[in-house]
Structure 1
């Protein structure tokens, strides 16, 4: 079944996906459970590994959920086709449960959904499991449609390979060693204060290390003690890990309204730190900043 091409919004600028980092911390191999093969897409690597890479070869993006058996089955078939075809096309996977913003960028309405891109543009898409032979024909038609039309941007990978320090930082992150990754990215940032990836990584790894240290019932603790600023900070961190970004912002904005002096300054500072974890153009960040301004003035 084919449906209209989904809109793809601008990728988050220099951000490291929090849910992906959290998953790496708990599963050091960084693998997505249930889906073999394919690059796991996050907000951080969407542009480089999907949009830019699609200038070299077609990229097939599977938007899936481990809760969906058909998603897992489709992932297995696509991975087998990708392996059989060698480097003719690339398979990428988006876990809609842990990376909802990327799913929203693709306009996904149900899982599994498959979107094929070339030269940064969606070419074809479908929903639901398809018979293997039909998937084979679909991939072949995709390859035929793009044959000789993609100029390739191999320089991207070569440019990344010439910076061993960046490669090492990424390797630490992929291995789930957050402290080593933070140290490596900080060294890059010390050498180049404008290094976008290092700046975003240091900020978000520091957040993740702090947030994962909070008790699991941090939200309940804060709800029971609405005047406890530190409890509110912990609860907001946990809510962001749980993808409840709007709730985290609302919690601290409410606290801004109830505090004054140094306490209000501390809450405002923490809110700004949380805003900086995301793309400034994110609608929730825009709304959060507006609500903070209203609370302050």
Structure 2
């Protein structure tokens, strides 16, 4: 759901208190105008986006007095987070320094999500002069994202935040380890929208190494992308509401909920369905739920909690 950016009222600053983030020990400042990035995670020159942690927020708050800072809060376990970050990065880079993008993995940086009072991911907010500006939560179409960023730039002009900054530099750190060839092939196929080729690459990786957990997770993620690629959100939700005991309808809306970041809703829906049914329908819903657990990550607290609920309805 998208929302038109609005500046936070001065009196509401305390409602979302980001000050504690700025008190985390900060790394040594870099030579560029932007905040210093962890050496191993900086993007190539020419990019105005990079991952950040709690220690970077003092610099980000300062930078937001020069240009709007877009903060994307997501999870590496959710395909929709990567998709949103890719669209945001492209759109921010197209602004040539009038915006910067900070991406946050909330699994690693829960304090940042708590500071912004984020209830679900993915979520995107912005910082203007150190103040939070809500943008959108869940999935959004690329054209909607670009339109919101254009509005954010104009909002910055209105509030005197209309500078430009150079791109984040490469830095002197090492590059991330290369992916195994079949994994890289799968990622490239996903980027090209060829989910069948991506699934084939992951299946081949599993055939060569049956205990390849990353390949199994990737295969589950690709399956989710395949199932939801052509679904109409409104139609799926209406069908699920009209057919609460329809297996296909409930599976489809659960898939879309995970893609959109509504993970707990998806899990609760399927657990409830399993609790009401028996036989083949019950087993099909259970298998889909287990597959969605793999997509989100078996160590995720939401998965752990849902497994407990599933055990109660099964046993």
Class of the TM-score when normalised by the shorter of the 2 chains: 0.5 to 0.7
What are the within-5 Å matches in structure 2 for residues 156-171 of structure 1? 156-157=175-176, 159-160=177-178, 163-171=180-188
Contact 1:219/1:239 (8 A) holds in 2: no
**1:249 partnered with 2:287:** no
1:290 and 1:31, CA in 2 relative to 1: closer, same or farther beyond 3 A? same
**1:16 CA displacement:** 4.6
- Provide the TM-score with structure 1 as the length reference: 0.56
Structure 2 unaligned segments of length 5 or more: list them.
Answer: 1-12, 25-52, 55-73, 117-123, 133-155
Distance of 2:89 and 2:206 partners within structure 1 = 33
Distance of 1:183 and 1:192 partners within structure 2 = 14
Contact 2:77/2:297 (8 A) holds in 1: no
**CA root-mean-square deviation:** 4.2
Choose from 281, 293, 299 the match for 1:281: 299
Q: For residues 40-95 of structure 1, give each alpha carbon's deviation from its aligned partner in whole angstroms, at most 9, with x where no partner exists.
A: xxxxxxxxxxxxxxxxxxxxxxxxxxxxxxxx97x83465xxxxxxxxxxxx633x
Choose from 87, 92, 102 the match for 1:93: 102
**Secondary structure of residue in 2 paired with 1:160:** coil
Distance of 2:97 and 2:206 partners within structure 1 = 39
Contact 2:78/2:258 (8 A) holds in 1: no
Structure 1 unaligned segments of length 5 or more: list them.
Answer: 25-29, 38-71, 80-91, 115-124, 144-149
- Provide the TM-score with structure 2 as the length reference: 0.54
Distance of 2:84 and 2:164 partners within structure 1 = 33
Choose from 112, 121, 125 the match for 1:106: 112
What are the within-5 Å matches in structure 2 for residues 74-93 of structure 1? 76-77=97-98, 93=102
What are the within-5 Å matches in structure 2 for residues 173-252 of structure 1? 173-216=190-233, 217-252=235-270
**1:132 CA displacement:** 7.2
Distance of 2:279 and 2:271 partners within structure 1 = 15
1:133 and 1:212, CA in 2 relative to 1: closer, same or farther beyond 3 A? closer
How many pairs were matched up? 215
